[in-house]
Chains A and B, each alone.
Chain A
Amino acid sequence: MKPVFFDYNSTTPTHPEVAKLMAEIASEPLNSSATHFYGRKAQAIINKAKSQILSALNAKNYEIIFTSSATEATNTIFFGGDFTEILFSKIEHASVYNCRPENRKITEIDCDANGVVEAKNLSAKIPQNSAKFLVSIMACNNETGVIQPIEEFAKITHQNLGLFHSDLVQTLGKIPVDLEKLNIDFASISAHKIHGPVGVGALIYRKDLDFKPLILGGKQQNSKRAGSLNIAGIAGFGLAVEIAEKNLQQFQKIAILRDYLEENLLKITGGEENLKIFGKNMPRLANTCFYAVKNLNNQTQLINFDLNHICVSAGASCSSGSVSSSKTLQAMNVASEFLSGSIRISLSNQNNIEEINYFLKIFNEFYNKKTKKL
């Protein structure tokens, strides 16, 4: 049987229209730095992608540089910005959490039991000297899907004369984003989470801000990121953003499937005493469900799901190779009997009710077997 893919927060298949466009573009020798016909054509493609992305984010006063990933985008600003201190939350993705330039002070911000970063904790930790600082808080958590009040965080940061960065990797194409309104200074985004190609990301920054490049070389991208541009990938990114923005309403409907799933998970297990759904009552991404079963190790759950051709993850895929429990859940102070039992389900419009029912059937059998044993 065709595997059931419930891991769309880790990566997504490329949209067929995007793949088609990329294949067309890739067949031509396009280097945007060249002065001849193909060079101009490449430049036009990049400009189009830029405007597709910036207009989707309502980012008139912003510039964009294309990178190889959101990880690179975040590294670029963390290493290249003029800061003496960087503050970020304890629930950040590894690309932020592990990005700790040696000569900058790093400060971590707590979150509450629902996985929401605490504004009061941010206020308390803002440097009181005249240090130049950057605050980085993700807009939507990759594991719980919980939406963070970043507009408020940006405001607190600006009141204290700092700059604000947000990892929008899980946000782009999933909820409306208005950069002008949010008033954030830097944002990292990624193409492969929204049915665009892997290997393309971008750093978006307010036009009046400056930073040093991470990768040095030619004068591409206003000397802010050297290296020949990945023209086909960038075009694919632009189109993927445009399609995702058009389908934003549609995306919210995934919550129907997700809520149905959660409701039944609770039924099967007898309720919240035995199964926790993290951030359930918070504003959340429509496609994400992060649950944990009491005293039921996620490795055994994963093996069982895999044997039944269901693709889920224990948490973020970049750290899922390790068995250790989710950093996000630790930050939320989740009770120990739930800590190692977490499973993340992340859906897309390509999923259907039959797949959810199949998942519930497999879950039910396994749960009953395991609990009888216990």
Chain B
Amino acid sequence: MTIKLPIYMDYQSTTPIDPRVIDKMVEVMKNDYGNPHSRSHAFGWKAEEIVENARQQIAKLINADEKEIFFTSGATESNNIAIKGVAKFYENLGKKHIITLTTEHKCVINSCRDLEQEGFKITFLPVQKNGLVDLNMLESAITEQTALVSIMAVNNEIGVIQPLAEIGALCRKKGVFFHTDCAQSFGKIPLDVEKMNIDLMSISGHKIYGPKGIGAIYIRRKPRVRIKSMMSGGGQERGIRSGTVPTQLVVGLGLASEIAFNEMAKDYEKIKKFSQKFYDAMQKLTHVYLNGDLEQRYLGNLNFSFAGIEGESMIMAIKDLAVSSGSACTSASLEPSYVLHALGVDDELAHTSIRFGFGRFTTEDEIDYAINLISQKVEKLRAMSPLWEMMQDGIDLKSINWKSH
């Protein structure tokens, strides 16, 4: 069997659309092009019906009511709405404190930083070495002024799964809202807003084989979470988010959610098998370290650091694999990952980290090809590397006083 190169292993950055989703979207584009807010004719009503059906498909996947789902342009916008929207609504009630993690996605961190400049108090909690939140530390960070705790479900860079149910229970007990960025977990692992006491959830379309440019936010009705909207205009989405709702994107997200609902177990079974095989092969190379907890992990994401190799040369050597050395939104900059820093990974290893993503369309042949390629290149690059030689000689690289030049 021939393999199409480059092999796509960057499923955390984006995913190809499922062909079933494209077909449905094209069909809607052709036939049901009405504006869902047109209340005066059949095209509008049909579009509205399609939009409402998608809302149900999404709600079902997280055990929510469809009235609690609002469409946005993506998880970035949803995260902005959740954090800035809750903060600005509840500040008048004296709640001017937000807790989040240092390993959150940039859009959560930057929304918080923006609020900080406006006088809000933000606690950026550090994580443990395995990338997980320390629940005791979280509990003691919550104060009378805390409005919101924002902790992501699956980390985009290292794939660890935060203990959502425990965080949710704690937040409910303390009477603060719990927001979770589920861009990397919605449709991939089981999520239940009731069991996990989630009050707000950010959802992305293009991470689950749906279209780009569409996302959603879940906002709990009971007990009700209020937000101050970020965009004004026609007042669509019950005033939460103005702008014409894009029917064909919404239908794509809806169907992608339904497929995820039906095929999550099947997808995960395959991903788990590939992930295990890949992990075992990397361990054989020695001095390859998995970043983040091994157990509490979404297995479609394995982030490894390769000791004794320079990061950029590694990426170049394996350019048959479309992989990323961090999250896509920060990979344009070549700074080492702030997420790995938060885990206490030192600079050398942070520089050589590579994220491997597996998804619905990954094949076993691709995994075998990747393992083979990486094994060869690692051996070759290490043979050329003075660092590797020193490591073999037992020299602690940190003890060397590098001269800057």
The answer to whether A371 has its CB under 8 Å from any CB of chain B is no
Q: Are A34 and B322 in contact (CB under 8 A)?
A: yes
Residues from chain B with a CB closer than 8 A to the CB of A38 are 6, 8, 10, 322
The answer to whether A272 has its CB under 8 Å from any CB of chain B is no
Residues from chain A with a CB closer than 8 A to the CB of B43 are 3, 5, 7, 311
Q: A5 to B77, alpha carbons, bound, how many Å?
A: 33
Band of interface residues on A:
35 or more
Residues from chain A with a CB closer than 8 A to the CB of B33 are 11-14
Residues from chain A with a CB closer than 8 A to the CB of B44 are 7, 10, 311, 317
Residue in B closest to A14 when the chains form the complex, CB atoms: B29
Which of these binds chain B: A47-55, A129-137, A223-231, A351-359?
Answer: A223-231
The answer to whether B292 has its CB under 8 Å from any CB of chain A is no
Taking the closest CB of chain B, its distance from the CB of A350, in whole angstroms, is 11
The answer to whether A198 and B246 touch (CB under 8 A), given A75-B233, A218-B107, is: yes
Interface residues of B in 35-70 (CB under 8 A from A): 35, 37-44
Interface string of A19-45 (1 = CB under 8 A from B): 100110011111101111111000000
Q: A306 to B44, alpha carbons, bound, how many Å?
A: 11
Taking the closest CB of chain B, its distance from the CB of A178, in whole angstroms, is 27
The answer to whether B231 has its CB under 8 Å from any CB of chain A is yes
The answer to whether A72 has its CB under 8 Å from any CB of chain B is yes
Interface residues of B in 194-247 (CB under 8 A from A): 204, 206, 211-214, 230-236, 242-247
Residues from chain B with a CB closer than 8 A to the CB of A233 are 211-213, 249
Residues from chain A with a CB closer than 8 A to the CB of B329 are 33, 217-220, 226, 228
Band of interface residues on B:
35 or more
Taking the closest CB of chain B, its distance from the CB of A56, in whole angstroms, is 21
Instruction: Tell me which of B211, B325, B329 has the highest count of chain A C-beta atoms within 10 A of its own C-beta.
Output: B329
The answer to whether A362 has its CB under 8 Å from any CB of chain B is no
Residues from chain B with a CB closer than 8 A to the CB of A28 are 16
The answer to whether B275 has its CB under 8 Å from any CB of chain A is no
- Chain B residues at the A interface, C-beta cutoff of 8 Å: 6, 8, 10-11, 13-17, 19, 22, 25-26, 29-30, 33-35, 37-44, 72-77, 79-80, 105-108, 110-111, 113-114, 204, 206, 211-214, 230-236, 242-249, 315, 319, 322-325, 327-333
For the complex of A and B, list the 8 residue pairs with the smallest distance between their C-beta atoms, beginning with the closest: A217-B107, A218-B329, A230-B213, A199-B246, A318-B234, A68-B73, A311-B41, A227-B76
- Chain A residues at the B interface, C-beta cutoff of 8 Å: 3, 5, 7, 10-14, 16, 19, 22-23, 26-31, 33-39, 67-72, 74-75, 93-96, 98-100, 190, 192, 197-201, 214-220, 226-233, 302, 305-306, 309-314, 316-321
Can you show 27 pairs from A to B with CB atoms below 8 A apart? A7-B40, A7-B44, A10-B38, A19-B29, A26-B211, A29-B14, A30-B212, A36-B6, A68-B213, A71-B234, A75-B242, A94-B233, A95-B234, A192-B246, A198-B245, A215-B107, A216-B111, A217-B76, A217-B107, A218-B328, A227-B73, A227-B107, A228-B204, A228-B212, A232-B211, A317-B40, A318-B233
